[in-house]
Chains A and B, each alone.
Chain A
Amino acid sequence: MPRPRKRAAGLVVAAGLLFFLGTNVQAGWLLVMAACVLGAAMAGAILPALMLRGVQLDRRAPAEVHQLETVLVEIGVTNRSRGMRSGLVVSDAFVQPKRFLVPRLRPGERVELTTSRQARRRGPQAATTVTLRSCAPFGVAELQRRRRVDTETLVLPAVVALGPLSFVRPADTAEHAIRSAPRRGLGPEYLGIREYRAGDSMRRVHWPSTARTGTVMVREFELEQTRRIAIVIDASWDASWDASWDAGADGWTPLDRVCATAASVASAALAQGHGARLVLPHATGVEVLARADASELHRRLAHVVPDPARGFAELLEGLGSEVRGVETAVLVFPARRGHDRAAIERAVAHLRDLVPHVVVIAVEVTEEEAASEVMAPGSWTALEEGLRRVGAEVFPWRSGDDLAVLLSPGPDGEAAA
């Protein structure tokens, strides 16, 4: 049943007043007006029930989008009934809650609304219902119907375009390095032979095969693969990680920034030919995502949720084979009061024994996100100094700072990208 709105009460009160006055001054026209006003209230309370009959909804959205990017979501509203439908308000919480008005819809007509939304929350977005409302024709009562619409979009972490990373040495090759299968290239590993193609160096001709087959054959080599960077993130805590997450509240939380930093560093490293692996806590220990391209890394980071079972220091202490062969370990964590600074320093010192170069990117927690976890300025300094003391390179990402400028500064201090 349509739910009455405030206007219904207004009309009933107006009708009552008109009836009262009309009765007392014996004015029939006031009673006519009272009947009409009350009639409008009654009709207005019933008619919205007809306004949503036969209205169908569908939604289209891209499968993946990066956090904070604008995403175009298409909503189709189709009128399958034989009557005109008017005053339809479509409320869709998918990716970002928005309301849209469809003023009228003729029989059989379809309206496609291309809507613009900002992907505020990281992770899979799968709002299955769209709410359809109508209070036409008089706004006296509103009928609300939820329609199931299956659409899923994965919101990947935001990626900041970084230039050459200051803390990583350039790789030997300009190709993406980490692949699940060997790639042809100029590395030292022999891969096989194949027919000669225009442009192949004559030095690679494999003469025995050429003689055997009568066709010019050349040797192929595997592309040089490097595993230089391990990105370790702290997913043990996040601000605002409560029921509001599922309620669709907006957010750009510390963990989002940790994931965005990890994704940005990984993308920049891969783009520059470095290998990048992702190390993050897992229920059974430590999860390592290696030999993955940027998309895979982003998808994994999109699914990261806070798990307080395993602290960051504990994670670092447990690292061993996971960082074998790694030149640079990039540690990304939210700098908060709840951390045991000494434990982290010890863990970083332990890591420093395993990895030649340790980089720490500390993400600031702001007052709005979690006032109790905000670190005092003195604590920041102590954290930085402590980490530097154990041999780590520290990048504090404070609120308002540009990550690109912070991690890959150009000659004049601006972002190199």
Chain B
Amino acid sequence: MTFELKRTPGPPEDSVALRVVVMLAVELAIMAVVAQHAVDVFTAAAALLLAPLGYWFSYRRRAHTSLAVKLLLSVGLLAALGQFLQAVGSAGSVDQARLPLASLFLWVQVLHAFDVPRRRDLAFSMISSTILIAEAGALSLTTGFALLLVPWMGLCGVWLSLSSRPRPDQVAPPVSVRRIEPADASRRACVYAPARAAAMPVAAVTVAAFVLFLAMPRVPGSFVKAPPFSFSHPPTQLSSFDGGVANPNLPAANPDGVVDFAPGAYPGLSDHVDLRARGHLSDSIAFRVRAPQAALWRAEAFDTYDGTTWSLGDPQTQTLLAGAAPGSFDMPGTQGSAEAFAGPETVRLTQTFYVDTPQPNVLFAAATPSTVYFPAAGARVDRYGSVRTPILLDAGLVYSVISDVPVPDPDRLRRAGTTMPRGMERYLQVPGELPSRVGDLAGDITRGSASEYDRVLAVQSWIQQHTRYNLDVPADPPGVDAVDEFLFVTRQGFCEQIASSMAVMLRTLGIPTRLVTGYGPGSRNPFTGYFEVKQSDAHAWLEVYYPGSGWVQYDPTFGVPEAAPGLGGRFMAGPVFAAIGRFAQDAVPEPVKRAAGVVAGAVRDVARAALHEWPQAAVVIALVGLAAVAWRRRHRGRADSTRPADAAEAAFLDLAAALAPAGHARGEHTTPGEYLRELQGDPALASEVVEAADTIVATFERSRFAPLASRPSREDVILARMLVAQVRGKVGPR
């Protein structure tokens, strides 16, 4: 039994194209959510199959609204809501509620698809699909999401275009529509006109969106904080975890005991850093970081240098204690201790790491971590603030860290005292065999520097000016001090040699330092917003201790990202152009790059010459402008010369077209008079049709052949057109 409900205002939407566009957009949105593994397989398959079915059903039933269907849909919605509430009730964290929430969205979308009779309902479907694809976008880690987003955007554009047209009930249907083809000159333009018409809005939106994207500030969230969370597949437990570092991907040691770089493993992430190690790391992504700003992702710190190798002077660790939030662990407080950063300002940075390539059991985080969200208990921290975990950081593992990043204040650092607290001697250690010329050099460099801070900057500046970064530097000869060799022989090396040299030189000046390893900030993907950190971003830098202020990071190789970026650093223009540059560097063939360089050089030369000889340049520009205006006017004049066909001829052609289905197709060489006689000879034709044809043909012939004074008037032509409409009515629609 069906009860008919009173429909709300607005006729049902009959446009199949509009419905297909909406359905495709919804399907793409569902696929996007499924691609992020946000729903289970059953829900995904059911949604993908049921949504098109729903739109088909809704189209067939658009003119009827039955209570039974609405009741069924309500029951379905209640069931989906019940399932969601049940799943959320058993979720232990916000992260675990993602799956049921996505499922609820999907079911609402699918059920809604069964009841979209009007254009406004289809608009709600588009809004719903926007929510779905936004959810997928929030979960997406890679640029591959564009494969779904771009077509979805295209469908949105088509939907905007189709739905912006007035509904059939908002316009009057004309009695007849006649299209008069353009003249030959315009016909050529017509060939590309549809493509141009489609390309123009696409180009306009693309340009506007690109500019807006560049101008859109990446401000830190202030209202809804990105919730820190952790997630792990079945983890790889370490058999005997005692707080040490396990890096199973490292290759076996060479005969001389040196462990070289492996493409997927940085030897600096172990219990020592050997400056004799050589090799290259791969460009595969190690992990992605969701964070509002860049930072050095710190893993380990070393205090003891023996001439070739940095090691841990104190291997003692302590266990992280469970924090207040579920899955969180608090770092042991350094407040009040000698090594605490006592600067006036820190920036709280919430980072979430998505591990892509297996990593050792060290936790990467911006300095200085305060709370860790990790999927396994039992992590330990050493005295240098490095966290080791009882499981390896396998691919797919997610963890969050909240860090209080120190914001160094140069004035405060300059005013730092010289009295070192107890226990800092370990950070002043240098090998006994260290050649004295290292210390002498440091003394020479810093002569005249008034404060410790100025001495640090002087040494860093000297290293940056007098050494060169080179990953292919040959191995050091046996028995030499790595720092001495780098400073006085090769002056080439990579981050480990550079950072070690600065650390050792500062130690010779009585400034406490330690070598730090981890990863550089990586490059920010402008689309996903994540920092993509590659294996080759593995990095070494140093930390310098300032009495009263604590440890401050220095990276003489690439520099330390700003702890409190200014306004300029909040925009995506830099990362976008950097990404474009990287793409151009990688993708554009060398000859093209060379050609572009030549063109750019030529343009530069011309511009320079024009500036030098500006009067002549102004004349040339004016002449070119005048020529362009003249060409355009001429072209426009040609375009205006096209005139539509004579209306009387149009009426006659319409008559022939209307009568063609009735067996009176006009031959190619049949004159109007012959055609009329043919009509008059057909007894099957109604007399009104023949009389109308007589008038129409007469009007046409007069328009063509009569003297100017006897040409048909405007009223005659209108009468002819009206008669054509009547003939159509008699013989049926065209």
* Residues in chain A within 8 A of chain B (CB atoms): 7, 14, 18-36, 38-40, 42-44, 46-47, 50, 60-63, 72, 74, 76, 78, 80-84, 86-87, 89, 98-101, 103-104, 106-116, 135-140
Q: Residue B235 at the A interface, CB < 8 A?
A: no
Binds A, one of B106-114, B208-216, B314-322: B208-216
Among B165, B206, B721: residue with most chain A CB under 10 A: B165
On whether A27 and B644 interact (CB within 8 A), knowing A33-B137, A101-B165, A108-B187, the answer reads: no
In the complex, the answer to whether A26 meets B163 with C-beta atoms within 8 Å is no
A7 to B186, CA, bound (A): 34
CB distance from B267 to the nearest CB of A (A): 32
Which residues of A are found within 8 Å of B226, using beta-carbon distances? 24-26
**Residue on A nearest B188 in the bound complex, by CB:** A107
On whether A60 and B171 interact (CB within 8 A), knowing A26-B221, A76-B644, A99-B166, the answer reads: no
In the complex, the answer to whether A29 meets B187 with C-beta atoms within 8 Å is no
Which residues of A are found within 8 Å of B216, using beta-carbon distances? 19, 31, 34-35
Q: Residue B623 at the A interface, CB < 8 A?
A: no
In the complex, the answer to whether B189 meets A116 with C-beta atoms within 8 Å is no
On whether A139 and B190 interact (CB within 8 A), knowing A31-B529, A35-B212, A36-B209, the answer reads: no
In the complex, the answer to whether B718 meets A29 with C-beta atoms within 8 Å is no
A108 to B208, CA, bound (A): 30
In the complex, the answer to whether B644 meets A113 with C-beta atoms within 8 Å is no
Q: Residue B149 at the A interface, CB < 8 A?
A: yes
Q: Residue B619 at the A interface, CB < 8 A?
A: no
In the complex, the answer to whether A112 meets B213 with C-beta atoms within 8 Å is no
The contact of B527 among A32, A44, A83, A108, by CB within 8 Å, is: A32
Q: Residue B205 at the A interface, CB < 8 A?
A: yes
Which residues of B are found within 8 Å of A34, using beta-carbon distances? 212, 216
Q: Which of B183-213 touch A at CB < 8 Å? A: 183, 185-187, 189-190, 193-194, 196-197, 200-201, 204-213
CB distance from B456 to the nearest CB of A (A): 33
Q: CB-defined interface of B617-658 with A at 8 Å, one 1/0 digit per residue?
A: 000000000000000000000011010100100100000000
A22 to B194, CA, bound (A): 36
In the complex, the answer to whether A23 meets B163 with C-beta atoms within 8 Å is no
On whether A28 and B715 interact (CB within 8 A), knowing A38-B209, A110-B179, A115-B174, the answer reads: no
The contact of B212 among A30, A38, A108, A139, by CB within 8 Å, is: A38
The contact of B526 among A28, A36, A50, A139, by CB within 8 Å, is: A28
Show 25 A/B contacts (Cβ-Cβ < 8 Å), sorted by A: A25-B221, A26-B226, A27-B528, A28-B527, A28-B529, A29-B140, A32-B213, A35-B212, A40-B208, A43-B204, A47-B201, A47-B204, A60-B717, A82-B639, A83-B196, A100-B171, A107-B186, A109-B182, A110-B180, A111-B179, A112-B177, A114-B175, A115-B172, A137-B201, A139-B163
A136 to B221, CA, bound (A): 36
Q: Residue B714 at the A interface, CB < 8 A?
A: yes
**Residue on B nearest A64 in the bound complex, by CB:** B715
* Residues in chain B within 8 A of chain A (CB atoms): 130, 133-134, 137-138, 140, 145, 149, 153, 156-157, 160-161, 163-166, 170-172, 174-183, 185-187, 189-190, 193-194, 196-197, 200-201, 204-213, 216, 218-226, 290-292, 525-530, 572, 639-640, 642, 644, 647, 650, 714-715, 717-719, 721-722, 725
Which residues of B are found within 8 Å of A36, using beta-carbon distances? 153, 205, 209
CB distance from B416 to the nearest CB of A (A): 34
On whether A20 and B715 interact (CB within 8 A), knowing A25-B138, A29-B149, A84-B194, the answer reads: no
A366 to B218, CA, bound (A): 69
In the complex, the answer to whether B223 meets A20 with C-beta atoms within 8 Å is yes
In the complex, the answer to whether B137 meets A62 with C-beta atoms within 8 Å is no
Which residues of B are found within 8 Å of A87, using beta-carbon distances? 161, 164-165
In the complex, the answer to whether A109 meets B134 with C-beta atoms within 8 Å is no
A50 to B200, CA, bound (A): 11
Among A7, A22, A23, A62: residue with most chain B CB under 10 A: A23
Additional pairs, 14, CB under 8 Å, beyond known A83-B193, A107-B186: A26-B226, A28-B527, A33-B130, A39-B211, A42-B208, A47-B204, A84-B197, A101-B166, A112-B178, A112-B179, A137-B157, A138-B157, A139-B164, A139-B165
Which residues of A are found within 8 Å of B205, using beta-carbon distances? 36, 39-40, 43
In the complex, the answer to whether B186 meets A109 with C-beta atoms within 8 Å is yes
In the complex, the answer to whether A39 meets B212 with C-beta atoms within 8 Å is yes
Which residues of B are found within 8 Å of A116, using beta-carbon distances? 172, 174-175
Which residues of B are found within 8 Å of A19, using beta-carbon distances? 216
Among B161, B292, B527: residue with most chain A CB under 10 A: B161
**Residue on B nearest A48 in the bound complex, by CB:** B164
In the complex, the answer to whether B182 meets A107 with C-beta atoms within 8 Å is yes
A89 to B525, CA, bound (A): 44
In the complex, the answer to whether A138 meets B164 with C-beta atoms within 8 Å is yes
In the complex, the answer to whether A27 meets B196 with C-beta atoms within 8 Å is no
In the complex, the answer to whether A29 meets B171 with C-beta atoms within 8 Å is no
CB distance from B225 to the nearest CB of A (A): 7
* Complex A-B, nearest 8 residue pairs according to Cβ-Cβ distance, in ascending order: A139-B164, A28-B529, A108-B186, A108-B182, A39-B209, A29-B137, A24-B221, A39-B208
CB distance from B732 to the nearest CB of A (A): 17
On whether A60 and B208 interact (CB within 8 A), knowing A80-B639, A110-B644, A114-B174, the answer reads: no
Which residues of B are found within 8 Å of A82, using beta-carbon distances? 186, 189, 639
Which residues of B are found within 8 Å of A98, using beta-carbon distances? 172
On whether A30 and B137 interact (CB within 8 A), knowing A24-B223, A72-B725, A74-B721, the answer reads: yes
Which residues of A are found within 8 Å of B161, using beta-carbon distances? 87, 136-139
**Residue on B nearest A81 in the bound complex, by CB:** B639
A24 to B134, CA, bound (A): 13
Which residues of A are found within 8 Å of B292, using beta-carbon distances? 26
In the complex, the answer to whether A27 meets B138 with C-beta atoms within 8 Å is yes
**Residue on B nearest A105 in the bound complex, by CB:** B179
On whether A35 and B213 interact (CB within 8 A), knowing A18-B134, A29-B140, the answer reads: yes
CB distance from A33 to the nearest CB of B (A): 6
In the complex, the answer to whether B197 meets A25 with C-beta atoms within 8 Å is no
Which residues of A are found within 8 Å of B221, using beta-carbon distances? 23-26
**Residue on A nearest B185 in the bound complex, by CB:** A108
In the complex, the answer to whether B134 meets A30 with C-beta atoms within 8 Å is yes
In the complex, the answer to whether B721 meets A114 with C-beta atoms within 8 Å is yes
CB distance from B574 to the nearest CB of A (A): 14
The contact of B722 among A18, A23, A72, A109, by CB within 8 Å, is: A72
Which residues of A are found within 8 Å of B639, using beta-carbon distances? 80-82, 107-108
**Residue on B nearest A18 in the bound complex, by CB:** B134
In the complex, the answer to whether A40 meets B222 with C-beta atoms within 8 Å is no
In the complex, the answer to whether B193 meets A106 with C-beta atoms within 8 Å is yes
In the complex, the answer to whether A29 meets B130 with C-beta atoms within 8 Å is no
In the complex, the answer to whether B197 meets A22 with C-beta atoms within 8 Å is no
A280 to B163, CA, bound (A): 55
In the complex, the answer to whether A44 meets B160 with C-beta atoms within 8 Å is yes
CB distance from A37 to the nearest CB of B (A): 8
Which residues of B are found within 8 Å of A40, using beta-carbon distances? 156-157, 160, 205, 208-209
A7 to B120, CA, bound (A): 12
On whether A139 and B204 interact (CB within 8 A), knowing A84-B197, A100-B171, the answer reads: no
In the complex, the answer to whether A111 meets B204 with C-beta atoms within 8 Å is no
**Residue on B nearest A34 in the bound complex, by CB:** B216
In the complex, the answer to whether A43 meets B208 with C-beta atoms within 8 Å is yes
A140 to B193, CA, bound (A): 22
CB distance from B41 to the nearest CB of A (A): 24
CB distance from A176 to the nearest CB of B (A): 24
Which residues of B are found within 8 Å of A44, using beta-carbon distances? 160, 201
In the complex, the answer to whether B177 meets A111 with C-beta atoms within 8 Å is yes
Which residues of A are found within 8 Å of B222, using beta-carbon distances? 24
On whether A33 and B179 interact (CB within 8 A), knowing A109-B190, A138-B161, the answer reads: no
